[in-house]
Every structure is written in C-alpha cells, then in structure tokens.
Amino acid sequence: MAPIGLFAAGVICIMAAVLSGDADVSLFLVFPVFSGSSSLFMLGTVLIVFSFILGFMFLMMGQMELARADLDTFRTGAEPDGPAGRGRYGGVVLIGPVPIAFGSDKGMALAMLVAGIVVAIVALTVIVLLLG
C-alpha cells in the first residue's frame, strides 16, 4: 500500500501545483505533459518516482520469497504450508488513452481491462477539465 499512497500523494501535489498556477499542463497528441519549477511540483514528481522504485522493490522481494518457497518444495518434496494454488494476477498498461490488459486467466484480464477503461476515462476527464 505504501507505493500506492506515495503515488497518490505525488499526483495530489502536482494537481495542487497546477491548480495554483505554479505548473502547466499541455497536451502532446494524446499524452498530457506537466511542467513546472515550484517546490510543490518537484515534491510530487519525486514522490511518484519514489513510488515506482518502492513498488518494484516490493515486487522483487515477493518474487524472491516465491522462489525460496519453490526451492524448499523441490528440496523436500513436500508442499509448503498454506494454500496449494498460486494467486491470480493481472495488470493494465495505458498507452495514451488505450488500455492494454493482461492477467493469469480470462476473468482477471477482463477485470483489468475494465479498470483500465475507467482510469483512462477519469484521466481524460481530468485533463479536459484542467485545460478547459
């Protein structure tokens, strides 16, 4: 939850900088471009970058834990304590307003596609409101 909170705090800082006039928003093709030099804008940018770094670190730590559990299973031949099945996963990549969804099964991929469409609509609405 920490990376998500940092990302949200960064977005809020950048939005506050834009709304106060300390930062600008422009549109290049379909991509929003934010620029500014105020300390609030810089704080938002640093928080967003740090959220990505922290998120990748947590992801790597989780993958290492899964690899250790698989290695223990291989060595002992016994299943580790806990649920036998692996969890479901999914994600969405937004390229401009176009969501590209993936998942471990069809249901998860569909859920990610719906989430991507919702995020794209919200993002485009915010951009239109900020530019208009």
Span 88-106, average pLDDT: 85
1-45 tens-digit pLDDT? 888 999 999 999 998 998 898 888 888 877 778 888 889 999 999
Report the C-alpha gap between 128 and 83 in whole angstroms.
Answer: 46
CB 17 within 8 A of CB 32: no
Report the C-alpha gap between 130 and 110 in whole angstroms.
Answer: 30
Give the pTM. Answer: 0.52
Nearest to 31 by CA among 114, 123, 132, 101: 123
Supply the DSSP string of 47-89, one letter for each residue: HHHHHHHHHHHHHHHHHHHHHHHHHHHHHH-SPPSS-SSPPP-
Whether pLDDT at 79 is above 80: no
| Low-confidence winner among 70-74, 85-89, 112-116 (lowest mean pLDDT) | 70-74
pLDDT at 103: 85
Which two structure tokens, joined as six digits, stand for 49? 């970058």
